[in-house]
């Protein structure tokens, strides 16, 4: 049986519920859904592009704590409040991931757990 390691990243915003930032198991890091919250003040940043950037920074902090990074991402799930924001989110996403292309799902959702959030992402990566 595999050991599960709870990952808590000081450089990421505090979870808003009873869950870990991520769980490391069997050579993978499973990151929880993350909103565009600034970890220095726990406030949601303004605008879709800024929230997308902040989410990916938060995920980078979580992955770094697990000894990994975005270049080791194998799957990303994107939850948009409005699919009309897809092209703007995608432009920021592409810039931050560069040539790396993890598998991805993107869906529109009616609401998100963090009030005011326009986007949430979760991610699975290879452990470092």
Dist. CA 7–CA 24, nearest whole Å: 7
pTM comes to: 0.95
Count of structural domains within the chain: 1
Of 20, 61, 64, 106, catalytic: 106
Full residue range of the structural domain in which residue 28 is found: 5-126
pLDDT one-digit tens code per residue, 35-60: 999 999 999 999 999 999 999 999 99
**CATH number of 20's domain:** 3.30.1330.40
Q: Which residues does the chain have with pLDDT short of 50?
A: 1
Contact criterion met (CB below 8 Å) for 22 and 58: no
31 catalytic, yes or no? no
Return the number of other C-beta atoms located less than 10 Å from residue 60's C-beta. Answer: 18
């Amino acid at each position: 049986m595999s050991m599960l390691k709870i990952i808590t990243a000081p450089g990421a915003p505090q979870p808003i519920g009873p869950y870990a930032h991520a769980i490391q198991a069997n050579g993978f890091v499973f990151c929880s859904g993350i909103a565009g919250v600034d970890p220095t003040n726990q406030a949601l940043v303004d605008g879709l592009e800024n929230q997308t950037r902040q989410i990916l920074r938060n995920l980078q902090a979580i992955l770094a704590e697990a000894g990994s990074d975005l270049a080791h991402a194998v799957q990303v799930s994107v939850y948009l409040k409005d699919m009309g924001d897809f092209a703007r989110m995608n432009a920021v996403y592409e810039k931050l991931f560069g040539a790396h292309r993890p598998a991805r799902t993107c869906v529109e959702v009616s609401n998100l757990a963090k009030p005011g959030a326009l986007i949430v992402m979760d991610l699975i990566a290879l452990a470092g």
